[in-house]
Amino acid sequence: MRDVARTFCLSPDKRLKLPARVHATYGVMGVLLLLAACSNADGPSAPPSDPPPQVSPSGNPPPVEPPPQTPPVEPPPQAPPVEPPPQARLGQWSGVSPAPIVQLHLHLLASGKVLSWGADGVPRTWDPATGAFTAVPAPSLLFCSGHAFLPDGRLLVAGGKKVDARNTDELGLPNTNVFDPASGAWHAMPAMAKARWYPTNTALPSGELVTIAGTDENGDHVPVPEVWNGAAWRPLTSAALELPFYPRTFVAPDGRIFYAGELQRSRYLDVAGAGRWTDGPLRKFGTRGYGSAVMYEPGKILYAGGGDPPTNTAEIIDLNQPSPTWTFTGSMASARRHLNATLLPTGDVLVTGGTSGGGFNNLSGGVRSAELWHPATGTWTTLASSTVVRIYHSTALLLPDGRVLYTGSGDGGDSPNERNYELYSPPYLFNGARPTITAALPPRAGYGQTLIVDTPDGAGIAKVTLIGLGSVTHAFDQSARLVPLSFSPVARGLSIALPASRAAAPPGPYMLFLVNADGVPSEGRVMLLQ
Ligand SMILES: [Cu+2]
C-alpha cells in the first residue's frame, strides 16, 4: 500500500494516511481510495507558472537566470498489483445461526449430515445444504458419553449421564447405542460391564473399538477398558489404570493404543488378550487439562494448549521413530484451554476457541481468534476471529465442503448456553478455483487398493489426503486422523494408492480430498475403508 501511495500521490503531505489495520483489512478498497484521493479530490496539479521576465531600471542586463530545469521524469503510473482479498490470508467467519441445542457432541456422518447433542437429551441431525435440524431421539441420555465410528460408518456411543434427583455430575450409564446414518435410527446394543461418564472411544485396526476411562453410576473412576467386537464388550482385566476424563488416545503405527494425555506420562495399551499398559515417554509440558490433540499424519501427534493456567505451548511426537520423544513445536499466539484442534485437507491444523484465563472455565479470557499450525515449519498463523466466545463444551468439525462448523459452549461450566453455530471458511477457499472430482467414488474400498479418481485437474494436484470423519467433544476429536496418500496422474485423472496399513487408517468412514499446488482442496468425497 505504501508503494501505491508514493506512485499516485504527488505531495507527500497529502497522502491518505490509512492506519495499518485498514491497510490490512481493506487492501483493495484502500487502493481505490488512494486513487480517488489522488485523481479527484486534489484535482490534476496545475504546473507552476513562470514569473514574467524582469527588466532592470539601470539598463543593466538582468541577472542570468539558470536554465529552466526539466522536471524529473516520473515513471508512468503503474497499475496497482492485484492484492488477494484479506480472506485469502485470514479466512472468513459466517454470521451466527441459531441451533436448537448446545452442540457439545458433534459428528460428521457418512451421509454428509451432522449429528449433535447436548444436555437436553434429544440428539439432532443437521443438513448443511438446508440448515435444517431434525430430532432423532436416542434410547438413553447420551450427554457426556464417548463415541467413534464403526467400520460400516455407524457411530458407536458408549455410556452417558445418569440423572439422579440432584442432577449430580460424574454419574455414568453403561448403555451402548449405535446410530445408523443411512436410516437415521438408533439401536440399543448390549451394555458395557461398567457405566461410563466422560470416556473416550477409539476405533481399532481390527475393526473393533476400545472405550477407556470415565466414571461409573456412583461417580467412581472406571480403570478397566472394554473392547467392542461388534456384538459384545470384552473387559481388559489386566489393564486396570485410572486415567483423567476423556483421555487423548490414538492408534499407534504398531496397532497399540497410544495415550498422549492429559497426564504428562504417555503410555501404550496393548488390547490383545486381557490387555496390558506399558510406559511411554514423558511429554514436555505437565498436565494438559482440556488441551487438544490430533494425529496429523500416521503416527504423528500434535498436542496444543490445555492446563491451568492455560499454556500457549504445543508439542509433537513421531511414533514411527524407534525411540519416540516429545518435542516442543512453535507456540500459539494465545494460551488456550477448551480449544479445538481440527485437521484440514491441506494437512495444516486449525485451532479455534478456548480461554486464556485461569480456572476451570474463564469466560473473560475467551479467545476468538483462530490459529493455523503448519506441520512443515512448526509455526502458527493467526487467523480471523469468531463472533462468539466458545470455551467449555465447544466443538469444531471439518465438513466435506472444506468449511469448519464451530459450535457449542455451555450446558455446564457457568458460561452462557450457546445455542448457535458459526461456519469458518479457511484461507484456502479464497485462493483460486478448486480442483474437482467429476465422478462418484465407490462407496467402499479396501486396503492397498488402487483408486482411480476422475478429475480434469490431475496434473495440478500436489497432495491427496484421507481424513477420518470427526466425532468431537470436550476439546478432542475421538475419530479424525489424516493419512496422506501417494498418487500418480492417469488419463482420466489420478491413480491413488489407498493405505495398506490398518493401523495408519483403522477401518471406517473417511473423506478423500485432492489439494492443488496452491493449497486449494477439492470438496471431500466420503467413502468407507474396510
Ligand atoms: Cu462436559
> Which residues face 265 on adjacent strands?
282
| Cα–ligand 1 centroid distance for 102 (angstroms) | 11
Query: What is the whole-number distance in angstroms between the Cα of residue 290 and the centre of ligand 1?
Result: 11
pLDDT of residue 80: 77
Using DSSP, state whether 487 is helix, strand or coil.
strand
Domain positions in the chain are: 1-43+72-83, 102-430, 444-529
C-alpha of residue 393 to centroid of ligand 1, in Å: 6
Q: How far apart are CA 158 and CA 187, in angstroms?
A: 12
H or E segment to which residue 481 belongs: none
Q: Which residue pairs, CB below 8 angstroms and at least 24 apart, start in 262-268?
A: 262/287, 262/288, 262/289, 262/290, 262/291, 262/306, 263/287, 266/317, 266/326, 267/241
Q: How far is the CA of 135 from the centre of ligand 1 (A)?
A: 21
Is residue 304 within 8 Å of 339, Cβ to Cβ?
A: yes
Indicate the class that CATH gives domain 444-529.
mainly beta
CA–CA gap between residue 160 and residue 170 (Å, rounded): 10
Separation of CA 316 from chain center: 17
H or E element at residue 88: helix 87-90
Q: Which three cell numbers stand for residue 373?
A: 499450525
Integer Cα distance of 303 and 314 in angstroms: 6
Interval between CA 412 and ligand 1 midpoint (Å): 7
Classified as helix, coil or strand, 27 is: helix
Ligand 1 centre to CA of 105 (Å) is 9
In the reported structure, the alpha carbon of residue 211 is separated from the centroid of ligand 1 by a whole-number distance in angstroms of 17
Q: Which residues of 87-117 are buried (b: 16+ CB within 10 A; e: fewer)?
A: bebbbbbeebeebbbbbbbbbbbbbbbbbbb
- 375 Cα–ligand 1 center, Å: 30
Q: How far apart are CA 269 and CA 210, in angstroms?
A: 10
* Centroid of ligand 1 to alpha carbon of 530 (angstroms): 32
Ligand 1 centroid, distance to 233 Cα (angstroms): 24
Q: What is the whole-number distance in angstroms between the Cα of residue 329 and the centre of ligand 1?
A: 29
Phi-psi region of 6 (alpha: psi -120 to 50; beta: other; left: phi over 0): alpha
Residues contacting 388, CB < 8 A, separation 6+: 96, 368, 409, 418, 420, 422
Pick the CATH number of 102-430 from 3.30.465.10, 2.130.10.80, 3.40.50.300, 2.90.10.10: 2.130.10.80
**102-430 and 444-529 share one CATH topology?**
no
Distance from residue 433's CA to the centre of ligand 1 (Å): 40
**Residue 19: per-residue pLDDT:** 34
Ligand 1: distance of its center to the CA of 263 in Å? 18
Cα 206 to ligand 1 centroid, rounded to whole Å: 30
The pLDDT, as a whole number, for residue 9 is: 29
Query: How long, in residues, is the chain?
Result: 530
b/e burial code for range 221-258 (CB count within 10 A of at least 16 → b): bbebbbbbeeeebbbbeebebebebbbbbbbbbebbbb
- Tell me the DSSP string of 418-477: --EEEEEE-GGGGSSPPP---SPPPSEE-TT-EEEEE-TTGGGEEEEEEEEPPEEETTEE
pLDDT profile of the chain (530 residues), mean per 10: 30 33 35 34 37 44 60 74 90 98 98 97 96 98 98 98 93 98 97 98 98 98 98 98 98 98 98 98 98 98 98 98 98 98 98 98 98 98 98 98 98 97 98 97 97 97 98 98 98 97 98 98 98
Distance in Å, CA 304 to ligand 1 centroid: 19
| Distance from residue 529's CA to the centre of ligand 1 (Å) | 31
Phi, psi of 134 (to 5 degrees): -130, 130
Q: Shortest CA distance to 234 belongs to which of 178, 194, 278, 180?
A: 194
Gap between the Cα atoms of 112 and 109, Å rounded: 5
What is the rounded CA–CA span in Å between residue 409 and residue 96? Answer: 14
Instruction: Work out the burial of residue 267: count CB atoms within 10 Å of its CB; fewer than 13 is exposed, 13-18 middle, 19 or more buried.
Output: buried
